[in-house]
């Protein structure tokens, strides 16, 4: 996703992601832990991602994290720009 966004987004373009993330230094919501366990039980490569790791991957592909907005149900909207 990040590699593709880095290739196709023009300067000023945005990639907007929504969902649960683990955030370093914070206690995860029990619902996010349960969701992560459920995903990993189906496929070990799946799971709730750590926001810092997602941001680092975006940076590798020329994207900058512009904004993080807390949303209902322990989700985040994360905006990256090119």
- Render each residue's pLDDT in the chain as its tens digit; 82 residues: 999 999 999 999 999 999 999 999 999 999 999 999 999 999 999 999 999 999 999 999 999 999 999 999 999 999 999 9
Instruction: Please answer whether residues 15 and 63 qualify as being in contact, where contact means their C-beta atoms are separated by less than 8 angstroms.
Output: yes
Q: Report pLDDT for 46.
A: 98
Token pair belonging to 26: 């914070």
Q: Rounded distance, CA 31 to CA 64, Å?
A: 28
The dihedral built from the CA positions of residue 39, 40, 41 and 45, taken in this order, carries a sign that is positive
Q: Report pLDDT for 9.
A: 98
Our measurement of the distance from residue 47's CA atom to the centroid of its chain's CA atoms, rounded to an integer in Å, reads 11
Q: Report pLDDT for 65.
A: 99
74 φ, ψ to 5°? 60, 30
């Amino acid at each position: 996703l990040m590699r593709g966004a880095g290739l196709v987004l023009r300067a000023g373009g945005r990639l907007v992601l929504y969902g649960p993330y683990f955030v370093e230094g914070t206690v995860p919501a029990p619902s996010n832990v349960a969701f992560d366990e459920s995903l990993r039980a189906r496929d070990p490569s799946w799971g709730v991602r750590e926001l810092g790791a997602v941001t680092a991957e975006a940076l590798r592909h020329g994207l900058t994290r512009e904004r993080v907005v807390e949303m209902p149900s322990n989700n985040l909207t994360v905006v990256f720009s090119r």
